[in-house]
Amino acid sequence: METGDPRNSVPPGRGAPFFGFVVAVGVLAVLVSAGPLARLPDRLPDLPAAFWTMAALAVACDARPFVPPGRRRASAVFPSTCFTFAILLGWGLGPAVAVQAVAVAVSGWRLGYALWRTGFNAAQYACALGAAYLVTRLGAGDLFHGGQLHWAEVAAVGGAAAAWFAVNYGLVTTAIRLRFGARWWPRVRLGLGYELLSTGSLLLLAPVLIAAARASAALIPLVLVPLFAVYRMARLSTEREQLAALDPLTGLPNRKALLAEVAEQVHLHAERAARGAPDAHLALLLLDLDRFKHVNDALGHAVGDRLLVEVSARLTGVVGEGDLVARLGGDEFAIVVPRLTGTDDARELADRVVAALAEPVPLDGLPLDVGGSIGIAIFPEHGEDFVTLMRHADVAMYDAKHRNDTVAVYAAESDHNSAERLSLLADLRRVLEATPAVAAEETPGVRGGDGAALAPAPGLAGPTRNGRALPRNGGRAGGETRPGDESGRWRLRRRERVEAPHDDELINRIVANADPIRRRAGRDAATNEAVAGLHIDGPPVAGGTDDPAGDPGEITMYYQPQIEIATGEVVGVEALLRWRHPRRGMVDPGELIQVAEQSAVMRLLTRRVVNDVVGQLAKWSAAGITLRAALNVSVRDLHTGEIADQIADRLAGYGVPPDRLQVEITEGALMADPRRVLASISQLHRIGVGIALDDFGTGYSSLQHLRRLPLSEVKVDRSFVLGMVEDPDDAAIVRSMIELAGALGLRVVAEGVEDERTWRLLHAAGCDIAQGWFHARPMPAGELVAWLARYRPVHPVAAADAEGQRQHPRG
């Protein structure tokens, strides 16, 4: 008899081995129980009322077994196990097998099992009872002597119960393996604990039942009370598990249920793919609502909750019968779509979801527009497990948001959080921690807001021992130490002290453990330190010396001159960060900042830049070179408010006047959080540090912000300057910016000046300062000094008179 129960069928290609096993178990059951069953008719008149009572209860209870809801439970709970095992202990194998077969037939009929399945269940129980009976016969014979149960007999009963469970569960496990192939173990493992608790409780109740039967058959029905209690506890436990898998607001499955569903569907679709079925694709759609925060802020969370309930209703109404809609939390939903032929099917469903959400939601008479961004990940193209599919769907969803689109399918080029990026972030932290001695010495208790250790300014208190200051390196370059130098040994031990792990250190460990080269390098370094007894001269080298994979490279500062157009004098430089990676070469500065800005490493990077730039200004001042240096800071730096304290600390430590330093902020940083950014900028302004607005014209600055900010300079973005000669519109835009800044009393710097015609156009427009390859490329500090010695100022008017004859020096 075939029913809709999927466990009544066997996947194509597995029928022969599976049904061969079923037949083999049936034959074994016949061999085990044929003799005792043949002798049973002669024993029936002698069986007591206790036996018939147990037999009747076994059949009656199995007429309504407890079936756990869901598809992931190993099996139903059959109370007949308690009675048939008790019959085995009291009256032997034949009566137990006969009663169990009748109970299985009744339960199979009630549950709609196929005929082969009912037969297999009867056979597996017969084999289990036969194994238990064999264990009891290995004992001293009759288990009960005068109604008493001794320790040896208790051990025999326990061994019989263990044998029953091992044989029964082993047969079921083998059948599952033959049916599901290589993915059988997760199902068996998930069901083992449940089977041990439910079936084990029934088996251990059997000796208590048979002991009561020896006293009086009237005591046997009393076992229904604890059986009912077990039944109720199992049902309540199942209901709690169901509730734990549901979102309390919308009633949809939650993340836990989504994980279980995807895990099972991945298994089923892997089987389909192995058979070459065309519908072997599984789609995971991740939906994030747009503008939901505005609803919460404007109308309150109660209205927001009602909106989420309405959205969940629309989602469940638009998906198919076999699809799963889950709420992950907040305004995020997920949809699992099985049995697809490709990406186009998933896109079609995503388009239907977008159309369903396009209709306004009326709440309290106010129509609320609800939209969303959907990311799609497909099995097996984009991942073969829940974690990978979920991450890739999330990447696609944010890709859709950034492109102002509604639907996006995962693309590897959109994944900015790849293992390569994590490795790059870990290397960046390592190279920042391997700073020169003047920047790397730590003062206990000096830490940034992210917990990262920060270096003190030169001249501040250094490390101490027993209340006495330890000697510094005496100005030796690069933190060089001599053999026996106490300072070098102290610094090495300081680096080995256990400190609270940071997020990025954990990422570093994950990447290192996943990379066999890094892992081997780490082991070799640890071995070398152990052999050397940790007596190492000079600063430690991270990641080993010969393995390039363990070398994080070198971070240096380059400086590009800024030329006053009217006089041709060099009035300042812009400090630009450069990272030479051992495997990737020069890392693109934009990628470097993008990697660092979203992590705590950004503060370490800013600390390093501030220290290097201010220290370089001090060196130039000592050499008689007076320049103003501009450095860039990130949004993260301005939001924390620590940047002003760091700069003030360095300026005081190096003795550099504040007006020799200028901080550049972008329009994007300004608009991210104007209140906090304004507070940090105002504090820098009070110190005396100049403020420049970088990339002017590319963001969202308004006259309101320009009027309120204590700016001293604006920098016209190179995208406009580069096109001045060929594009009249760009030239008009640049002239307008210069006039606007001049009216506000701000100095104007033009970036991207790469030819003389642009230089002269900027002079005619009234621009103050030029920066670009026309004068010099960015260069290290040492090369800049040599370039300054060669440089000769040229005035735009003089250049116009001698046009075509002058050869301007370039860096």
CA atoms within 13 A on the CB side of 611: 22
- Higher model confidence: residue 528 or residue 730? 730
Residue 289: closest CA among 182, 406, 177, 172: 406
- Higher model confidence: residue 441 or residue 428? 428
- Higher model confidence: residue 243 or residue 517? 243
DSSP lists the bridge partners of residue 696 as: 716
Q: What is the pLDDT of residue 525?
A: 45
- Which of 513-527, 610-624, 669-683, 710-724 shows the lowest mean pLDDT across its residues? 513-527
Q: Which of 195, 271, 751, 756 is catalytic?
A: 751
Q: What is the pLDDT of residue 679?
A: 84
Q: What is the pLDDT of residue 438?
A: 38
Question: For 713, phi and psi rounded to 5 degrees?
Answer: -160, 145
Amino acid identity of residue 442, one-letter, is E
Residue corresponding to tokens 């289990």: 128
Q: Is the pLDDT at 683 greater than 60, yes or no?
A: yes
Amino acid identity of residue 620, one-letter, is W
H or E element, residue 585: strand 585-586
**What three-state secondary structure class fits 575?**
strand
Contact 741, 714 (CB under 8 A): yes
Q: What is the pLDDT of residue 789?
A: 92
Contact 690, 661 (CB under 8 A): yes
Q: Is the pLDDT at 702 greater than 90, yes or no?
A: no
C-alpha span between 670 and 674 (Å, rounded): 5
Q: What is the pLDDT of residue 234?
A: 66
Residue 638: closest CA among 681, 575, 601: 681
Contact 711, 732 (CB under 8 A): no
- Range among 355-369, 534-548, 570-584, 627-641 with highest mean pLDDT value: 570-584
DSSP lists the bridge partners of residue 557 as: 577
Q: What is the pLDDT of residue 521?
A: 47
H or E element, residue 299: helix 292-299
C-alpha span between 66 and 79 (Å, rounded): 8
Question: How would DSSP label each residue in 699-756?
Answer: S---HHHHHHS--SEEEE-HHHHTTTTT-HHHHHHHHHHHHHHHHTT-EEEEE---SH
**What three-state secondary structure class fits 277?**
coil
CA separation, residue 322 to residues 261, 326, 374, 479, 810 (Å): 11, 13, 20, 66, 69
Do β-strands 366-368 and 361-363 pair in parallel, antiparallel, or remain unpaired? antiparallel
pLDDT tens digits along 315-348 = 988 888 888 999 988 888 999 999 888 888 899 9
* Secondary-structure breakdown of the chain: helix, strand, coil percentages, each rounded to the nearest 5: 60, 15, 30
Q: What is the pLDDT of residue 465?
A: 37
Asked if the peptide bond before residue 95 counts as cis, ω within 30 degrees of 0, the response is no
Q: What is the pLDDT of residue 662?
A: 94
Q: What is the largest CA-CA distance in the chain?
A: 132
C-alpha span between 624 and 622 (Å, rounded): 5
Q: What is the pLDDT of residue 462?
A: 41
Of all residues in the chain, what percent carry a pLDDT higher than 90? 21
- Higher model confidence: residue 534 or residue 510? 510
pLDDT tens digits along 757-798 = 999 999 999 999 999 999 999 999 999 999 999 999 887 765
Residue 572: closest CA among 715, 670, 696, 756: 715
Q: What is the pLDDT of residue 663?
A: 92
- Over residues 433-462, the mean pLDDT reads 41
Q: Dihedral of CA 490/493/499/505: which sign?
A: positive
CA separation, residue 484 to residues 490, 516, 535, 709 (Å): 11, 35, 9, 54
pLDDT-based confidence at residue 661 (cuts at 50, 70, 90): very high
Amino acid identity of residue 474, one-letter, is G
C-alpha span between 338 and 346 (Å, rounded): 10
- Higher model confidence: residue 267 or residue 622? 622
Q: Is the pLDDT at 552 greater than 60, yes or no?
A: yes
* Residue partners of 123: CB distance under 8 A and separation at least 6: 22, 25, 26, 28, 29
- Higher model confidence: residue 365 or residue 679? 679
CA 199 centroid distance within chain: 39
pLDDT tens digits along 6-53 = 556 665 666 788 888 889 999 999 998 898 999 888 888 888 888 898
Average pLDDT, the chain: 76
The question of whether 751 is a catalytic residue gets the answer yes
Question: How would DSSP label each residue in 317-356?
Answer: HHS-TT-EEEEEETTEEEEEEEEESSHHHHHHHHHHHHHH
CA 310 centroid distance within chain: 29
Query: What are 730's two structure tokens?
Result: 């760009």
CA separation, residue 458 to residues 71, 373, 440, 447, 611 (Å): 68, 51, 11, 16, 9
Please report the beta strands in 478-553, taking only residues with DSSP state E, as ranges in sequence order: none
pLDDT-based confidence at residue 572 (cuts at 50, 70, 90): very high
Q: Is the pLDDT at 515 greater than 50, yes or no?
A: no
Question: For 790, phi and psi rounded to 5 degrees?
Answer: -90, -20
Q: What is the pLDDT of residue 206?
A: 84
Contact 188, 173 (CB under 8 A): yes
Q: What is the pLDDT of residue 630?
A: 94
H or E element, residue 572: strand 570-581
C-alpha span between 100 and 225 (Å, rounded): 21
Q: Dihedral of CA 342/345/349/351: which sign?
A: positive
pLDDT tens digits along 379-395 = 988 888 888 898 888 88
Q: Is the pLDDT at 519 greater than 50, yes or no?
A: no
pLDDT tens digits along 287-317 = 988 878 778 777 888 888 888 999 989 998 8
CA atoms within 13 A on the CB side of 681: 27
Q: Is the pLDDT at 513 greater than 60, yes or no?
A: no
